[in-house]
Amino acid sequence: MFGVIGAATFSASFSKSDVAVNIGFLGVAFALGLSVLVGAIAWGPVSGGHFNPAVTLGLATAGFFSWRRVPAYIASQFVGGLLASTALVLVAAGTSTEFLSDARKSGFASTGWGPLSPSGASWEAAFLIEAVTTAVLMAVVLAVSTRRTDATLAPLAIGFTLTVAALVAIPISNGSFNPARSIATAVYGGPVALEQLWLSLVAPTLGAALVGLVVTAVRHLAPRARRSSYI
């Protein structure tokens, strides 16, 4: 959360006097992918490295994660996201009043449609891109984390999948794929961000859950499929 929101807020488009830093969509996409890659390597052995309520729900729906653990995971993801965005607000407040004010007026990197979309996309387009990209992410997570493959490859596959997904989705919806990330920015993004928050909660969750249901159906058709030993 800290990596992607911070990159989108401070570095995506910044210029002042002789200092010019503009990482653009590509930089934000890599910030997201690298943050998740490093996080998965560091904390995957501890918690599974979900960081995303949609992924947690998708894994539970597919039968690879206990439903009893879902509430605690989602609560911690929401709290972590809010702490990260709050820290970034405090940092922004230490730059200039205008910078923080402008960041909040622009939605504080919140996801959505219309004024929150870099391309002014419709809510239908934003909903579709969030659902589809999260479904792709969920499919990759299940593919690489529920098979006996080299454990070092899973974070790489997931991180690069998020990078590609972000490159596709940022121009349309500002790229969330993560309800916790959406809440973390919307609370500081103003009334429009809060009004449009429902899309960034529903679409990713729906995309991940649909993939989980498909995997559940496939597992019933192939009862010999093995479960992962570490999810």
* pLDDT digits 0-9 by tens, 173-200: 999 999 999 999 999 999 999 999 999 9
Top-level class of domain 2-221: mainly alpha
Q: Which residue has the tokens 């990209």?
A: 133
Domain range summary for the chain, segments of one domain joined by +: 2-221
What size, in residues, is the chain?
231
Band (148; pLDDT cuts 50, 70, 90): low
Nearest residue to 9 (alpha-carbon basis) of 119, 103, 81: 103
Which conformational region is residue 117 in: left (phi greater than 0), alpha (psi within -120 to 50 degrees), or beta? Answer: beta
Joined together, the tokens standing for residue 146 give: 């529920």
pLDDT of residue 216: 87
Count the neighbouring beta carbons within 10 Å of the beta carbon of residue 204: 32
Nearest residue to 203 (alpha-carbon basis) of 127, 137, 136: 127
> Is 90 exceeded by the pLDDT of residue 165?
yes
Rounded to an integer, the average pLDDT of 70-86 is 96
Count the neighbouring beta carbons within 10 Å of the beta carbon of residue 193: 26
